[in-house]
Amino acid sequence: MIKLEIGALIVLVTAILPCLICGYLIVFHGRRGLISGWDDSKFSNPEGAGKLVGISLIIMALLLGLATLLWFAQLITEIMLIYAIVPISLVPVLTLVYVKIKFSVK
């Protein structure tokens, strides 16, 4: 049980909380500078694009929290957790690709 608690705390501190905090700051406070390589001049609607990226970070954090909770409750195995984390971590990447296509300055 100690192994599960330590693992869940590591995921919480290193992944869930930073994603939630950054997503919150981007969506509600307009801190688009937190997005690596962000340049407002490259987007036709930087506020809308930033909000989508921030929301995707919040969604990723919630999904990571759910997967970690299921693992901690021993409803899924570590292998299943890994299979869940890989697609979950692609949520912001796919959102950035979508934002680049939809909001790009032509």
pLDDT digits (tens, 9 = 90+) for 16-38: 999 999 999 999 999 999 999 89
Residue 104 backbone phi and psi in degrees, to 5: -65, 140
Question: For 53-87, how does the pLDDT look when each residue is reduced to its tens digit (9 = 90+)?
Answer: 999 999 999 999 999 999 999 999 999 999 999 99
Residue 104 three-state SS? strand
Per-residue pLDDT at 102 exceeds 90: yes
Question: For 41-53, how does the pLDDT look when each residue is reduced to its tens digit (9 = 90+)?
Answer: 999 999 999 999 9
pTM (two decimals)? 0.90
